[in-house]
């Protein structure tokens, strides 16, 4: 009826899930994807060329505590078929746990054989601490030797014994992957759940800190672009960021929240939407999870494809 004492009409809240996935996932094809990774052989020898030392080098970078090391452990777990934890991760988070430049190879079959791709873990980015931007750039160019201990106050100098003066193609980075938590992204355009804001950004200074880190990440990405290195992004902790995804991982590409966070990351760093992959890492699980593994395998397969193309282009140049 209306009138002076009538209550204003209250619109029902928008449902958190879309009617259908905005990106198709072949959920039942995990075996096929896993087999393609296990059978990945990118380099065929030409004439007398020796390829035993050649591999796809994938460098992970991003804020401290956002899941770089746990992503490496998750890939190791999936490919080898058993729970792994070689890349040490901080269970508390917030401060960088990785101190040295470390290469992780994944064992394949017999003793001394490895899959033809490796991951490099580096110190996390922080507002006033963490890895120097210049050290990430030097790592991409292959100038950082294994075991180098990062110094937040200064970059690796050319006279340091850990500086690789003449890097080979194998020493250089072939794919740059940004790793960031879906909990951490924030946009003024997105009405956020205040509980999430309080958990991940307990003060305005924490939000500004992330903005500063994102600027550093964009600078690193632009440097990688100048080198021709392909870039991707991994959006971690999607289960913590979205209750519907926590209830069922297959809701990941129906979640409006996750989709919006992918778009925020796209706008913040300039990484194409089809190069951003939401994932959940193995964390508390002690048994295999096919849906978790499928999301990671989709990202991994694209990393390998992009890395192979980059290496082949370098060889032809």
Q: pLDDT (tens digit, 9 = 90+) per residue, 45-60?
A: 554 454 556 899 999 9
Above 60 in pLDDT, residue 155?
yes
**In the prediction, which pLDDT does 11 show?**
67
Above 60 in pLDDT, residue 234?
yes
Distances (CA, A) of 282 to 75, 82, 194, 237: 9, 11, 27, 10
Report if residue 24 sits inside a domain.
no
**In the prediction, which pLDDT does 127 show?**
72
Report if residue 17 sits inside a domain.
no
**What CA–CA distance (Å, rounded) separates 68 from 62?**
8
Q: pLDDT (tens digit, 9 = 90+) per residue, 189-218?
A: 444 444 554 455 454 445 557 788 889 999
Above 90 in pLDDT, residue 32?
yes
Question: In terms of DSSP H, where are the helices of 39-147?
Answer: 68-80, 133-140
**What CA–CA distance (Å, rounded) separates 81 from 98?**
25
Q: pLDDT (tens digit, 9 = 90+) per residue, 63-77?
A: 988 999 999 999 999
State the burial class of residue 210 (Cβ atoms within 10 Å of its Cβ: 0-12, 13-18, 19+). Answer: buried
Confidence band for 97, pLDDT divided at 50, 70 and 90: low
Adjacent-strand bridge partners of 261: none
Confidence band for 289, pLDDT divided at 50, 70 and 90: very high
**In the prediction, which pLDDT does 6 show?**
59
Report if residue 127 sits inside a domain.
yes
The answer for residues whose C-beta is within 8 angstroms of residue 196's C-beta and 6 or more apart is 183, 241
The answer for residues whose C-beta is within 8 angstroms of residue 255's C-beta and 6 or more apart is 16, 17, 18, 238, 242, 244, 245
**What CA–CA distance (Å, rounded) separates 185 from 266?**
11
- For residues 6 and 149, which has the higher predicted lDDT (pLDDT)? 149
Q: How many domains, in total, are found in the chain?
A: 1
**What CA–CA distance (Å, rounded) separates 99 from 265?**
26
Mean pLDDT of the chain: 86
Query: Using N-to-C axis directions, what is the helix angle for 30-38 and 290-316, rounded to 10°?
Result: 40
**In the prediction, which pLDDT does 197 show?**
45
Report if residue 22 sits inside a domain.
no
Above 60 in pLDDT, residue 117?
yes
Lowest-confidence pick of 40-44, 90-94, 171-175: 90-94
**What CA–CA distance (Å, rounded) separates 49 from 168?**
14
What is the pTM assigned to this prediction? 0.87
Report if residue 49 sits inside a domain.
yes
Nearest to 245 by CA among 261, 232, 265, 233: 261
Above 80 in pLDDT, residue 90?
no
CA 34, 297, 230, 170 dihedral sign is negative
Report if residue 13 sits inside a domain.
no
**In the prediction, which pLDDT does 201 show?**
47
Report if residue 159 sits inside a domain.
yes
Which stretches does DSSP call E strand in 122-240?
A: 175-181, 231-236
Which stretches does DSSP call E strand in the chain?
A: 56-61, 102-107, 114-121, 175-181, 231-236, 276-278
**In the prediction, which pLDDT does 4 show?**
52
**In the prediction, which pLDDT does 111 show?**
76
Query: Using N-to-C axis directions, what is the helix angle for 68-80 and 290-316, rounded to 10°?
Result: 100
Report if residue 15 sits inside a domain.
no
CATH, residue 137: 3.40.50.300
Collapsing DSSP to helix, strand or coil, 206 comes out as helix
Full domain range(s) for residue 48:
29-316
**In the prediction, which pLDDT does 96 show?**
54
Above 90 in pLDDT, residue 118?
yes
Nearest to 198 by CA among 176, 183, 182, 187: 183
**In the prediction, which pLDDT does 54 show?**
80
What average pLDDT score do residues 287-299 get?
Answer: 97
């Amino acid at each position: 009826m209306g009138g002076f004492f009538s209550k204003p009409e209250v619109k029902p809240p928008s449902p958190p899930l879309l009617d259908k996935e905005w990106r198709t996932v072949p959920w039942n094809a995990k075996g096929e994807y896993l087999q393609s990774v296990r059978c990945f052989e990118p380099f065929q020898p030409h004439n007398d060329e020796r390829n035993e030392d050649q591999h796809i080098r994938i460098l992970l970078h991003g804020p401290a505590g956002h899941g770089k090391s746990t992503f490496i452990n998750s890939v190791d777990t999936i490919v080898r078929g058993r729970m792994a934890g070689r890349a040490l991760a901080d269970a508390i988070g917030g401060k960088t746990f990785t101190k040295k430049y470390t290469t992780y190879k994944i064992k394949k079959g017999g003793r001394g054989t490895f899959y033809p791709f490796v991951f490099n873990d580096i110190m996390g980015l922080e507002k006033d601490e963490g890895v120097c931007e210049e050290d990430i750039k030097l790592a991409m160019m292959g100038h950082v030797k294994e075991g180098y201990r990062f110094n937040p106050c200064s970059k690796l100098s050319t006279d340091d014994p850990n500086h690789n003066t003449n890097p080979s193609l194998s020493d250089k980075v072939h794919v740059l992957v940004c790793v960031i938590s879906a909990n951490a992204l924030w946009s003024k355009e997105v009405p956020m759940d205040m509980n999430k804001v309080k958990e991940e950004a307990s003060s305005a200074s924490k939000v500004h800190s992330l903005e500063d880190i994102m600027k550093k990440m964009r600078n690193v990405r632009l440097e990688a672009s100048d080198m021709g290195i392909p870039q991707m992004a991994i959006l971690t902790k999607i289960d913590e960021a979205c209750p519907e995804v926590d209830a069922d991982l297959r809701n990941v590409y129906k979640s409006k929240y996750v989709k919006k966070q992918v778009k925020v990351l796209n706008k913040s760093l300039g990484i194409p939407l089809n190069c951003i992959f939401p994932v959940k890492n193995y964390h508390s699980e002690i048994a295999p999870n096919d849906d978790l593994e499928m999301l990671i395998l989709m990202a991994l397969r694209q990393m390998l494809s992009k890395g192979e193309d980059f290496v082949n282009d370098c060889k032809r140049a």
